[in-house]
């Protein structure tokens, strides 16, 4: 990062944007104050308010992020027409109302917008006619306008709050009031109507849903039916609807692509579990059962091997917990893909490791085809092969293996991290004694 950071500093100096660095191992109090737990950590301070840097770690990326960050996120609206163009759409819109930009509340609002600029569209107005157009609005307040299509008969069209307190308080209000009963999920991720799982399950309902003008009325009827059920579980689960055609492969994977009935649905939980609605249950029955733990979670899994006593244990979605969470053993796991060239190169070395440790109590060498099986979310597999070590003392916090991918590298790591009696490294044989007589110890010619 250092050379890129230096180049960015040189470019931004002319724009009067300051770039700084702190050795947090020396200034530990400062690091703790801003929640620094790893290095390098980048933060942007805009008018004193810190936000995490999430851009590219290149000179150009840093320059672009900071040029955007130094300008306030909330943009001005002058007319009722401009305001209605935004509030009648299908995205979240947040608008602050002020007498002038000199109002004390204005700066707090802009700082809040700067903090949340990646999540929401922020605007403001000082135009009196715009304020009078909206009921309950007055200077020193802001209003969250919900995506128009996703406002059901059970939802408010908007929610308004007086600007009191600091940025954290306003941010917390926005985050806790960002949802309508039912949002949208797309292949681009969770839409602005639903940002993350948080601590509640997400129930996704798949159907012939299309909010474009030609299909909007019909889709709205379908949406309201889902909202009626979502209302029963308000505060217990989040709901989102997805276009069935967009998630065709996902439905095939869950074996509900050809399912009949009014609703196809899957409930996702923050701990990585998935519950799939069967054909015979109603949507409300399914959600009740999923929330109550009355149905088994869906697990994508290869068939369990009939015999699994080889040097490298085969993990599947169904036997993962039994083998990995066995409190009597540490486990080394390779997550691989059948098509991965690096995985194929590793295979003989990994098998040799398994053979060396097959008779050692308290250590299991295992592997899993990560493309064909589900595994817990704490295992972040972003490339192949990915290798984790799981201690018998702590089954919830696996440790990523980053050492040499050969037998000696694995053994060295396991001696340092495993409680099992890993064989010691063999001492190298002593070099043969030098032969004193020249004729018995010929030299290579120069």
Query: Which residues are CB-contacts of 417 (< 8 A; sequence separation ≥ 6)?
Result: 330, 389, 391, 399
Q: What is the pTM of this model?
A: 0.67
SS3 350: helix
Q: Are the CB atoms for 41 and 96 separated by under 8 Å?
A: no
Distance CA 220, CA 263 (A): 15
From first CA to last CA, the distance across the chain in angstroms is 47
Q: Which tens digits make up the pLDDT trace of 364-392? A: 999 999 999 999 888 989 889 999 999 99
Distance CA 227, CA 302 (A): 36
Strands (E), 231-308: 238-243, 264-268, 274-276
Of 150-154, 248-252, 331-335, give the lowest mean pLDDT range. 248-252
In this structure, are strands 274-276 and 264-268 parallel, antiparallel, or unpaired? antiparallel
Q: Which tens digits make up the pLDDT trace of 311-340? A: 999 999 999 999 999 999 999 999 999 999
Per-residue model confidence (pLDDT) at position 191: 42
Per-residue model confidence (pLDDT) at position 446: 32
């Amino acid at each position: 990062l250092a050379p890129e950071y230096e180049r960015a500093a040189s470019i931004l100096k002319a724009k009067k944007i300051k770039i700084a660095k702190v050795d947090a191992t020396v200034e530990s109090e400062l690091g703790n104050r801003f929640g620094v737990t790893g290095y390098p950590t980048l933060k942007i301070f805009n008018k004193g308010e810190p936000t995490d840097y999430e851009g590219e770690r290149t000179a150009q990326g840093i320059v672009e992020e900071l040029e955007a960050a130094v300008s306030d996120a909330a943009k001005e609206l002058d007319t009722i027409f401009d305001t209605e163009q935004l509030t009648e759409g299908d995205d979240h819109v947040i608008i602050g109302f002020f007498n002038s930009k000199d109002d004390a509340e204005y700066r707090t609002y802009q700082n809040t917008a700067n903090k949340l600029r990646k999540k929401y569209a922020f605007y403001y107005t000082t135009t009196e006619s715009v304020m009078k157009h909206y009921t309950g609005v007055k200077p020193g307040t802001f209003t969250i306008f919900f995506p128009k299509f996703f406002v059901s008969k059970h939802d408010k069209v908007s929610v308004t709050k007086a600007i009191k307190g600091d940025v954290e308080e306003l941010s917390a209000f926005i985050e806790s009031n960002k949802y309508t009963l039912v949002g949208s999920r797309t292949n681009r991720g969770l839409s602005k109507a639903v940002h993350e799982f948080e601590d509640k399950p997400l129930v996704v309902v798949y159907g012939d849903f299309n909010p474009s003008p030609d299909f909007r009325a019909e889709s709205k009827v379908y949406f309201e039916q889902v909202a009626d059920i979502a209302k029963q579980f308000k505060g217990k689960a989040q709901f989102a609807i997805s276009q069935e055609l967009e998630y065709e492969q996902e439905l095939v994977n869950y074996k509900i692509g050809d399912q009949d009935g009014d609703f196809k649905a899957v409930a996702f939980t923050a701990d990585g579990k998935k519950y799939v609605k069967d054909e015979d249950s109603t949507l409300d029955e399914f959600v009740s059962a999923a929330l109550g733990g009355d149905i088994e979670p869906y697990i994508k899994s290869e068939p369990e091997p009939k015999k699994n006593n080889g040097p490298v244990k085969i993990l599947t979605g169904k036997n993962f917990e039994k083998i990995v969470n066995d409190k009597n053993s540490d486990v080394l796991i390779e997550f691989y893909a059948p098509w991965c060239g690096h995985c194929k190169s590793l295979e003989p070395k990994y098998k040799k490791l398994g053979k060396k440790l097959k008779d050692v109590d308290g250590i299991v060498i295992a592997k899993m085809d990560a493309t064909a099986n589900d595994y817990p979310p704490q295992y972040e597999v972003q490339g192949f092969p990915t290798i984790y070590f799981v201690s018998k003392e702590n089954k919830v916090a696996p440790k990523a293996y980053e050492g040499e991918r050969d037998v000696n590298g694995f053994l060295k790591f396991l001696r340092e991290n495993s409680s099992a009696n890993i064989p010691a490294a063999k001492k190298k044989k002593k070099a043969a004694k030098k032969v004193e007589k020249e004729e018995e110890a010929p030299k290579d010619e120069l």
